[in-house]
Amino acid sequence: MSDTSIEIRASVELPARREEIELHTADGLTLVGELATPLDRPPVATLVTLHPLPTAGGFMDSHIIRKAAARLPALADLAVLRFNTRGTVSPRGTSEGSFGEGVAERADVAAAMSFVTERALPHPWLVGWSFGTELALKYGLDHGIDGAILLSPPLHRTSAAELARWQHAAPELVALIPEFDDYLRPAEAAERFASVPKVTRIDVTGGKHLWVGESQTRRVLDEIVGVVNPAALPLPTVWPADAS
């Protein structure tokens, strides 16, 4: 590592265009968020992130989502859209409304996808984490997405019928299942996803629901990029990327 390079860890934020944005739902709410895009070139694809359960502390700054926005525009040429679902609070601000148990949030997903369309952001992928995976599974097929990536899916709110819809749908479906997940571990995930044999299920040895620690963060981001823009792999661990 050269004297001018830095190791990419924890709170490191790499160069990108970062814009505070607002989303407007069909039921009249304003949601707050951020769009991060590559600094000097157009994005090759777009991650529309859906955060964990807000009543359990999930928000647009939940660490995997924050680190995706901090790193992937620079490292993988991706646009990253993150936002607070209704009633959710973060340093960016508070989205209007109140928690809708994953039902009213259908309009929040729609508002995010309308923004993607308005901005002509390319090749959108939903990236849901925990509660966010429920929103991706329930409502993702309402929109023109390339696919959905599920991080620690609990499959609490997604019905069997909603899950089965994905089997004959065009968008790809990828699920990262932590070995030591609090809600859905690999053996159970194999049973629950049996109705969707097309799913790419990635069982992560040693993984936990919250993906705490730099090694788990890097594993998750590597898997996301491996699906959405594999040409960007391997992701560098220092910045500038050509430092040695």
The total number of structural domains in the chain stands at 1
Residue 164 lies in a domain: yes
Q: Is residue 27 part of a domain?
A: yes
pLDDT score of 95: 98
Q: Which domain holds residue 29?
A: 6-239
- pLDDT value, residue 244: 45
Low-confidence ranges of the chain (pLDDT < 70): 1-3, 242-244
- Integer CA distances (angstroms), 31 to 58, 75, 178, in order: 15, 28, 30
How many Å apart are CA 74 and CA 130, to the nearest integer? Answer: 26
Tokens of 220: 């998750």
Distance separating alpha carbons of residues 84 and 108, to the nearest angstrom = 9
Classify residue 182: in a domain, yes or no. Answer: yes
Residue 1 lies in a domain: no
Q: Are strands 238-239 and 6-7 parallel, antiparallel or unpaired?
A: antiparallel
Distance in angstroms (rounded) separating the CA atoms of residues 154 and 217: 19
Identify whether 137 is part of a domain: yes
* Neighbour count for residue 237 (Cβ, 10 Å): 14
Closest CA to 126 of 186, 138, 196: 138
Q: How far is CA 191 from the centre of its chain?
A: 24
Which amino acid, residue 15?
P
